[in-house]
Amino acid sequence: MEVKSVVIGVEGMTCNSCVQTIEQHVGKMNGIHNIKVSLEDKNAVIIYDSELQTPATLQEAIYDMGFDATLADSNPQPVLPDTIFLTVPTQSALTSKQICNSLLQNKGIVDVKMSSDQKTAVVTFISSIINGKQIIQMVPGVDLNISAPEVTPGTCEDSTWSQASSVVLRLKVEGMTCHSCTSTIEGRIGKLQGIQRIKVSLDNQEAVVVYQPHLITAEEINYQIEAAGFTASFKKQPRPLKLSALDLERLRYPQTKGSETALKEISNANDTKTIVFRIDGMHCSSCVLNIQSTISALPSVRSIVVSLEKKSAVINYNPNLISIDVLRRAIEAVSPETFKVSLPNEYENVALFPMLASPLKSPHPALKDASQPLTQVVVINIEGMTCNSCVQSIEGVISQKAGVKSIHVSLTNRNGTIEYDPLQTCPEDLRSSIEDMGFDASLSAKAIAQPRPEAQLESHKTEPPSKVSPTHLAQQETKTISKCYVQVTGMTCASCVANIERNLRREDGIHSILVALMAGKAEVRYNPAVIHPSAIAELIRELGFGATVMENCGEGDGILELVVRGMTCASCVHKIESTLMKTNGVLYCSVALATNKAHIKYDPEIIGPRDVIQVIKDLGFATSLVKKDRSASHLDHKQEIRQWKRSFVVSLVFCIPVMGLMIYMMVMDSQLADAHAHRNMSSEEMEALHSSMVLEYQLLPGLSVMNFLSFLLCVPVQMFGGWHFYIQAYKALKHKSANMDVLIVLATSIAFVYSFVILLVAMAEKAKVNPVTFFDTPPMLFVFISLGRWLEHVAKGKTSEALARLISLQATEATIVTLGPDNVLLSEEQVDVELVQRGDVVKVIPGGKFPVDGRVIEGHSMVDESLITGEAMPVTKKPGNTVIAGSINQNGSLLISATHVGADTTLSQIVKLVEEAQTSKAPIQQFADKLSGYFVPSIVAVSVVTLFAWIIIGFVDFEIVEKYFLGYNKSISAAEAIIRFAFQASITVLCIACPCSLGLATPTAVMVGTGVGAQNGILIKGGEPLEMAHKVKVVVFDKTGTITHGTPEVTQVKFLVEGNQLPHNKMLAIVGTAESNSEHPLGVAITKYCKKELDSETLGTCTDFQVVPGCGISCKVTNIEALLYRKNKMVEENNIKNVTLVKIEENTDESVQPALIIDAELPTTLTSHKYSVLIGNREWMNRNGLLVKNEVDKAMMEHERRGHTAVLAAVDGVLCGLIAIADTVKPEAELAVYTLKSMGLEVVLMTGDNSKTARSIASQVGITKVFAEVLPSHKVAKVKQLQDEGKRVAMVGDGINDSPALAMANVGIAIGTGTDVAIEAADVVLIKDDLMDVVASIDLSRKTVKRIRINFVFALIYNLIGVPIAAGVFLPIGLVLQPWMGSAAMAASSVSVVLSSLLLKMYQKPSAEKLEFRARGQMRHKSPSEISVHIGIDETGTGSPKLSLMDRIINYSRASINSLFSDKRSVNSIVLNEPDKHSLLVGDFGEDDDTAL
């Protein structure tokens, strides 16, 4: 009997009555188990018996009802049924046949079979239609038999014992954005009864659930995920878990003898026992109800009575079905999993059954003695062990775990061999347990089943001969570990890193993996026998990231270049090489005697550079690092500047004489012209004239002094001055492209070759009149071009100054210290900064630079971080604070622990970022590059056209040439004059056309723009965002951490009792002390406020501290008298010193009233009083019997209306204070919003917080459009929605959970997290936490784009006007250019573009003072009626209250995920119109995504 599912498309349904008609009609048909008709999807999903029905008959049945039916899927999907075992009581009123028939009449039950002894019924059913509980209720008297494994018939010859009860379900879950979402789902579903295991994958957007279908259905699981605010759908139909052949053997034949007695024992339900447990950790009656309802639901428990007063539970249970230990752990697992359960003394000697993962998973204890349990062996690789105490601690902890039979850990092999029971634990659990102890653990070979000795012989027969023992395998594996590097793209935050590392560690053959987010690189150690690098890259790609294997990565930072002094011969070399190669961690070593250099490759995980240097020093040789160039010389263009300067000087040296000769000839020509009264001379006159002129004197027939000198001066320029142009032109043509150099080479070569050929022809003809040559063109051209290039590179060097300055910030040396116990300084040594290793303790003296990023461990100082963050004020550093490499220590000495070294430091990352930005191309520049590509060929074409045009014009109408050709005289033939004129025009065209200036227009402006931005604390990632920012029309601000500070602060304290009853100072001291133990953000805010008000770093003592999630805290407070005595003493001293101070104190601070009477003379007599303190919401006060008065309630509601969280405090049973807490707005936010609006931008606030808080914040900063209660995933959709309206969007976020929205926006601006994830996801990073920089970044973008446009104008004017002039179009108006004039104009265009870009260096970011002055009197708070609030993803709807609440809960999870579902009652009783009930849990400040709390 096979059950199948088919989807039939149904057209023609109009309303729900159609749906019901189809469901009723088809549902009554024979063999139909279930039908679900969807009006929206226009289809029907039918589960049917394939022996009784076919898809065609079902389609026909729907068609007969008047609807159009089509088979959506021609292949029906088989539905895997589930199985349940029912125990039939011996004295049952019904016969086994009657039981079978009554069960089979129900929909969803596929088959019922009775065992041979008629005591057990095996029911096969479809879990999506019916569950185990419903089946039990159908037949009175039968009971669930949880001892027998549940099976699916038809999958094995023996249908009774073929498969275990668990079912695997795969669900697609949409809407998850971060790991807090996954932990929310895992936490919520994992607590449901019948769920055995759940794993949620963020990247695959899916959940894999192992559950017991007789306790919970797949639909229920789906519903629960959707109730948490996510969209869930079935990926695959649930399928039963497969067990290994050995497990099936064990389950099929537990043991021939005694199996029946075991079954009898199980069915005997009357055998019950009673036990009393002591339970600590119950707070109120809801805890009692929770435990009673959960434990009483267990089939093996007959009754349970829990007492809050006695802290006990009396349980009547069936010991055959459940053990004492399982009961104890079941109570401890009751939400919120904080109960401590112990046995009273008389029970402690009871032999507890082995601990099992779940009471429902337990194989029956009665079977325990009957068969030896199956065991498996797993080998786990363990990294990070240093000594035998590590070995012992791992063995000690793991051996205590449930199901672990034995464990042996090897320090030398770095692995642990564990024998365990697979029914109680699994390798993954064992591995994670070892990781929880602080070691890196990865699974080595697959677990090998090893039954007990009597079964071992049999198992060896079946084992393939190739298998070796896992221990041996692991030893082999560690010997053959290889390493590869994979370039990973698409990572946005730390959760991506964790996801890749977690998933790859599970793969066979992968030993360890380390992913660097900033560098976008994964370092993988793997076993080449099992897996290869391309497969590793493919695994990463499957997770949704881009991955490519880095072929010649050279193992990252594991390369060391050393200078070794003191070597004398080859034996020294051998000694060093052999010793290093024997050293653990050194992979390769090569020492050269001639150069005294050593090249060493090492594994940075095993050995550091200082260790390698020490090894060589121990051999008696002096060694030091090869100094690397840290001067940023590649950025200052020195080499290019030198090269072009040399080229210019060479050209100039030869050009000056050429120019001299040319000027001399021009002068002589003009004198002659005057003398001969402006008429052209005949050739005879020319001959006579030439012989009389010195320069025209012919050395050889046809070769004059002038031409000979010009030739001599031109050759070196052509060879040396133009050498670089020829090389570049050759390279360009080789790659089939044409650049500027091609044009220059063409122009000069044509001029030179043409002149040379003419000269040879004249000499051959022994001409009397000297030909006119172009030898003067190349030197003149090269002079102007090399001058232009030289100036251009000088300017480029200037644009890179900002970057060079950043690089020069890097320190070159570090002082490493060794600390003894109590941080006593034992020794210190000066080392090169490249030798600092992670974890080193570095000392930084006043005035010194921080060599690496680190955390302060000792000392206090002020640090100047201005060059990195742009913040002018020095920052205070004390233990625990982080420091940035390159910042300058000012006054105190500090000891820091290195956290990031080498290329991982913030400074190195910023340098890399700016470098990439300056090399990345803006879209406008890509257009320019494209243009340049077509430009050169078209100019050559214009030049050729010019040549032929003038030749044709000349021969057609010679008068034009004669009229406009400046150097023409009758001594040369008309043909020569025409050709000369045509050549001059075409060469000038080549000279003046300059794609250089086009190519320079954008990059120079982008370089200066990004450089200026970096100096002002604005990091712009390339030309694209810099150009895009000026097109932005909408600026979307995230709320928490962006508009607000992101941490709650106390805004108001209202005292509810008179000062003489409880002085205000005293109340603050008590409340501050009480909250000092709380980790809740609200508690931290209260403590911080109290310390500030009392001006004290220490408070009293807090005992009996208890926290009830969602309600509040209770505790006892002592030792506050000394604190108050000190405070009052200080006030009195001030009073005596200065009477005026008293007046000020009285006016401003009520706390100075001398209400607390303490004998100032006798401080020793202070008696310590114990105060009972309660702090929490209304519900907490009501629970503890305190009445909240109406006026207090009104005050709380007023605060809540303003988006604040109101907390009540009671001391010794008296309500004495109301504390209002809120996330406060940044001071500059209002001005920033006003300025952006005045720039013509629309400003929007987007938050996951509730609408009241959002409205309150928006009114304070002047924003009128608000999107509230937006899920993190919906932020992306919101940005997309705005973009679909045709608007360019800039998203400003604090860059952690906003990263998807930042990436989606046209310009993502990350604020205040210059060292964070934001650097990856955003386009612009504002290092300072200052909203005015948002204004500055958009302003800078506008200025830069304006500059780029001006540059294009400069570039195009030269070309558009210059080319026609050169071609001779404007000859009629007397405009004519010589070739050298063209090259001068060309050089001028490039230089003018660069100079125009450099004007950006003058940029000053808009100062807050100026903007404030301009905005004076125009900024005002908005009234609530002016603000439009849109809730959720919907534009209009109010949104589902459940969703918005869940949204807040999900996103607050980082602060209180563990306590979230702790008290089902308190969560379920949340009423939306009484926000204070959950204000402590999801306080209004706790915005969805970026609680920085």
Angle made by CA atoms 76, 80, 83, in degrees to the nearest 5: 150
- Sheet with 546-550, side-by-side order of all strands: 510-516, 521-526, 482-489, 546-550
* Cβ(312)–Cβ(279) below 8 Å: yes
Which residue matches tokens 């300025």?
1235
E strand or H helix that includes residue 47? strand 43-49
Q: Give dist(CA 625, CA 834) in Å, integer.
A: 9
In a 13 Å sphere around the CA of 713, the CA atoms on its Cβ side amount to: 26
DSSP 473: H
Query: What are 240's two structure tokens?
Result: 């039963």
* Cβ(1180)–Cβ(1108) below 8 Å: yes
In a 13 Å sphere around the CA of 1431, the CA atoms on its Cβ side amount to: 15
Q: What length does the chain have? A: 1493
Instruction: Provide the sign of the torsion angle of the four alpha carbons 1055, 1061, 1063, 1066, taken in this order.
Output: negative
DSSP 204: T
Q: Give dist(CA 913, CA 803) in Å, integer.
A: 10
* Cβ(254)–Cβ(370) below 8 Å: yes
Query: What are 253's two structure tokens?
Result: 């034949």
Closest CA to 732 of 746, 719, 718, 721: 746
* SS3 per-residue string spanning 130-169: CCHHHHHHHCCCCEECCCCCCCCCCCCCCCCCCCCCCEEE
Q: Pairing state of beta strands 1205-1211 and 1171-1176?
A: antiparallel
Instruction: Provide the sign of the torsion angle of the four alpha carbons 394, 400, 404, 405, taken in this order.
Output: positive
Which residue matches tokens 């205070």?
876
In a 10 Å sphere around its CB, with 0-12 CB exposed, 13-18 middle and 19+ buried, how is residue 1023 labelled?
Answer: buried
E strand or H helix that includes residue 488? strand 482-489
In a 13 Å sphere around the CA of 661, the CA atoms on its Cβ side amount to: 27
618 catalytically annotated: no
* Cβ(189)–Cβ(209) below 8 Å: yes
In a 10 Å sphere around its CB, with 0-12 CB exposed, 13-18 middle and 19+ buried, how is residue 435 labelled?
Answer: middle
* Cβ(1300)–Cβ(1280) below 8 Å: no
Phi, psi of 1366, deg, nearest 5: -65, -35
Q: Hey, what long-range contacts does 188-191 have (CB within 8 A, 24 or more apart)? A: 188/224, 188/225, 188/228, 188/1461, 189/221, 189/224, 189/225, 191/335, 191/1461
E strand or H helix that includes residue 1035? strand 1034-1038
* Cβ(594)–Cβ(572) below 8 Å: no
Looking at 1239-1325, list the stretches that DSSP marks H as alpha helix, in order from N- to C-terminal side.
Answer: 1251-1261, 1272-1284, 1299-1304, 1318-1321
E strand or H helix that includes residue 786? helix 777-799
Q: Give dist(CA 502, CA 481) in Å, integer.
A: 19
* Cβ(1310)–Cβ(1295) below 8 Å: yes
Out of 82, 111, 636, 1038, the active site residue is: 1038
Residues taking part in catalysis: 1038
